Amino acid sequence: MKPVLSFLLVCVAFPAIAQDNYHDSLLVFQANYKKDLSAIIKSDTAFVRFYEPDLRYRVIARAELVSGQPFFTMTTSGSRTLKAKRFAKLYFTLNGQPYELFAYQLSFWLDSKDNKDDFFIPFVDEGSGKSSYEGGRYLDFKVSDIVDNKLVIDFNKAYNPYCAFTTRYNCPIPPSENTLHADVLAGERKFAKEH
């Protein structure tokens, strides 16, 4: 009887431990993010806020690579434009609803030894301009993050572009095709200080 009871206790406790580890890993991610951001906004990192980590906003997407895509002009928050191309179409379910987003590569990344395998998902959602930054948020990835045509998208790691904090940058504006008709209550919130 004791081995069965021990097994049942492990089965009950494991999900709670896993969720605690996940929560802790996100707190470490947030602390590192704020540390890196301090070089740009100094002590104003005190005004950087996040939603509470929520496992429901960590989804597994089916990734469909879209090869041979032409570069297009991606507008930015400033006077400069960027050349970008679609890299993958992502299909996932969030809070019981199906969604699609595109992932993009920027042309200057492809010329860089350090960034040639990078891609990102810029997106806006129904909370943009209310509880999160009006210019949208980003999620960053490496090509190696796609395994067996699957990509883990963790909206708890969605972050604001630098333009949320200062006007000195030309931040990519998410294309209209990357509008989520949902309120994504995860990741970085709206900066709590006007600039």
The Cα–Cα gap between 104 and 181 comes to 20
- E strand residue ranges, the chain: 58-65, 72-74, 82-94, 97-106, 118-123, 137-142, 150-154
Domain assignments of the chain as residue spans, ordered by start? 47-178
Phi, psi at residue 171, to the nearest 5°?
A: -95, 135
Closest listed residue to residue 151, CA positions, set 103, 185, 98? 103
- Count of Cβ atoms closer than 10 Å to residue 192 Cβ: 10
The pLDDT value recorded for residue 18 is 54
The pLDDT value recorded for residue 152 is 99
Note whether 72 and 82 are within 8 A (CB).
no
User: Which strand (E) or helix (H) includes residue 37?
Assistant: helix 2-41
Tens of pLDDT along the chain (195 residues) come to 455 544 444 444 444 455 679 999 999 999 998 898 888 778 777 888 999 999 999 999 999 999 999 999 999 988 889 999 999 999 999 999 999 999 999 999 988 888 999 999 999 999 998 988 899 999 999 999 999 999 999 999 999 988 777 777 789 999 999 999 999 999 999 886 665
Note whether 181 and 191 are within 8 A (CB).
no
pTM of the model: 0.86
* 3-class DSSP assignment, residue 169: coil
